[in-house]
Homo-oligomer: A and B are copies of this chain.
């Protein structure tokens, strides 16, 4: 098992980047994986090294030898199936496998129903134009989405069962973003517990977005969730 031939371009605080970083750390490969922390503010994700491998100019961009993979979920699956296969993050057997894949894909709802209508709305709209009524409506809909996940965690310790899986990584990056952005999630005790427990996980500590430690949060979810 070696990371010597790999290379990962990533950005700090990007959920799609954080996913394969956690997988690499779970497999004991992150500390040896050659990588570049791309500065979004300098538009380094549109730089020639990234664009050559990923014409959309997005991170994560990843290669292992000659094999180039860009989509974060495809990178995660590749890493899981190639390294540490005795302890897979996506279970090999049914029905655990179907449940894990279901929750991995389902986590896209956290992007479309929680992140986009709250954080991205605020990022893309001038502060003086923020529509507080719309934001309150979006927050109510985001809570409807979060109720599904609270329910899954009420049934099981993790989102796809009682074992930690890839689905937990996919969900965690969104939940961590909510807390970073000042969400309290007081109505969601199981999600809070899930977050607190995963924050203690070595692979997650090792890969925490570096700028979170030394720059204040914009707290864009404060008072909303």
A residues lining the B interface (CB < 8 Å): 55-56, 66-67, 69-74, 77-78, 81-82, 94-95, 97-98, 101-102, 104-106, 108-109, 148, 151
Contact = CB atoms under 8 A, between A and B. Distances in A.
Contact of A94 (B67, B72, B108): B67
A111 to B, nearest CB: 10
A69 B151 CA distance: 17
Given A55-B148, A56-B148, A148-B55, A73 B101 contact: yes
Given A94-B78, A94-B82, A71 B148 contact: no
Q: Is the interface of A mostly helix, strand, loop or mixed?
A: helix
A41 to B, nearest CB: 23
How many copies of this protein are present in the complex? 2
4 pairs of A and B residues whose beta carbons are closest in the complex = A71-B105, A74-B101, A74-B102, A78-B98
For A69, A95, A102, the residue with the greatest tally of chain B CB atoms inside 10 Å of its CB is: A102
B148 A102 contact: no
Given A74-B105, A105-B74, A69 B55 contact: no
A132 to B, nearest CB: 22
Nearest to A148: B55
Contacts of A148: 55-56
Given A55-B148, A72-B105, A74-B102, 4 more contacts: A66-B95, A69-B102, A70-B106, A77-B98
